[in-house]
Structure formats: C-alpha cells, structure tokens
Amino acid sequence: MQVNDPSVPEPSKPAADSEASVDHATHEVPAPTAVETIPHDLASAEPDIDKADSLDLDAIERDLNDVQTALERLNDGNYWTDEITGEPIADDVLAAHPTARTATPTLG
C-alpha cells in the first residue's frame, strides 16, 4: 500500500485537450496561448468592399448554369457522353472538368 506524502509533488500528467494544464507544484494554470486569445466574433469583421466589387457575377452565373446542366445530364444518364459526337467522355476529362459536355472540354 502506497501512502501519498504531501511534501512530494505529484508527477505531472499529460493534460487532456479540453483541460488547461496545471502546474501541480503551484496549482497555477498557465496563461492562454495567442490562439486561445483571438476573438471569434466574425460578425464584427468589416467586408472587403474592393474585393466584392471585383467579383465577376456573370462568370459565377455561367458556372452555376454549367453545374445545373451537369446535374441534369447525370440525372438523365448521359453525363459521360459527348453531346456532339455521342462518344464516351474519358473519366480523366470529367475528373479535371466535371461540367464538361464534350470529350474536349474547351468545346463545351
């Protein structure tokens, strides 16, 4: 049977991720790290107006239309088929260009 001697400090144990480590000799909790002191209030962050003005909304709309067309083609079962030649579109082409409608993605 082992008796705890109060004059001997406890061996330190690894701290769990959710707990702050404690110096068992002094019973002090260390100061938070820089990451822990960063405020998490994103609602107060100012939007970058210059960046918002540079968005190409027409390009975003074209991309959205391409995705919708690709989803329709997938639903119809012809996603893997070239719209012009009727030949299969290679998997590597579709992996690189998921909205491709032809075997040569620059054509559609």
Please report, for the chain, the start and end positions of each structural domain, with discontinuous segments joined by +: 49-107
Alpha-carbon gap, residue 1 to 14, rounded angstroms: 25
Closest to 13 (Cα-Cα) out of 24, 26, 2, 29: 24
CA 34 to chain CA centroid, nearest Å: 23
Give the model's pLDDT for residue 54. 73
Give the model's pLDDT for residue 55. 84
pLDDT in single tens digits along all 108 residues of the chain: 555 666 656 555 554 444 555 556 666 666 666 555 555 566 666 666 666 567 899 999 999 999 999 999 999 999 999 999 999 999 999 999 999 999 986 655
Third-level CATH fold of 49-107? Four Helix Bundle (Hemerythrin (Met), subunit A) (1.20.120)
pTM over 0.85, yes/no: no
